[in-house]
Amino acid sequence: MTLRRGFKAEAEREAVRARKALGLAPHDPLDPADLARNLGIAVVDAATLVDLAELEELERLQAFAFSAATFEIEGRKIIVFSPLRSVGRRNSDIAHELAHVMLKHDLAEIRELNGMPFRTCRPEEEEEATAFGGTLLLPRPLLLSAARRRASVEQMATDFVVTPEMARFRFNSTGVAKQLGRRA
């Protein structure tokens, strides 16, 4: 599946706008919880809602079955995240959920899992949320600035509180690596 024409450029512009609204400089890390607060969205650790042992059992039964989800309760959006993920992964998960909200995606597709129906976004919307979530955390100007300072992908991951995989993906997919003649 591919993103619609112009989506990546729109995502970059929106990420810069969202960061400016938070008073962040182009090279500052984004805390997705701050962006959520700015958008009026609550971010909740799932361990405050269910026993941590239940989350661990779910993880044991099916790894990565739950990372984060967005709920709307009485007109208010709430993102619930798994405390079992690393902070970098958690930031990506929350940014992904924020992307769904900011892109106004609907839970329009009904799927069935083990006889239980649930609503989800269409595959193209999942792809958009993944791309936009990564862009919110690591917009191209931020990556370019870090690369010009000769930061490694691992250093970028540490500095911007994301996983090394996310930093590597964004560094390579934005064209920054090619522009500067470097590979992650």
C-alpha–C-alpha distance, residues 136 and 35, integer Å: 10
Q: For 67-81, how does the pLDDT look when each residue is reduced to its tens digit (9 = 90+)?
A: 998 888 888 999 999
Q: For 94-135, how does the pLDDT look when each residue is reduced to its tens digit (9 = 90+)?
A: 999 999 999 998 765 445 545 554 456 677 888 999 999 999
Residue 165 inside a domain? The answer is no
**Overall pTM > 0.85:** yes
Q: Which of 127, 106, 98 is nearest to 18 (CA)?
A: 98
Residue 164 inside a domain? The answer is no
Per the structure, the complete domain to which residue 12 belongs is given by 7-137
Residue 162 inside a domain? The answer is no
Tell me, what's the pLDDT at 133?
97
Q: Look at the chain and report how many structural domains it folds into.
A: 1
- CATH code, domain with 58: 1.10.10.2910
Residue 146 inside a domain? The answer is no
Residue 157 inside a domain? The answer is no
Q: Residues 15, 79, 103, 175: is their CA dihedral positive or negative?
A: positive
Residue 40 inside a domain? The answer is yes
Residue 20 inside a domain? The answer is yes
Residue 183 inside a domain? The answer is no
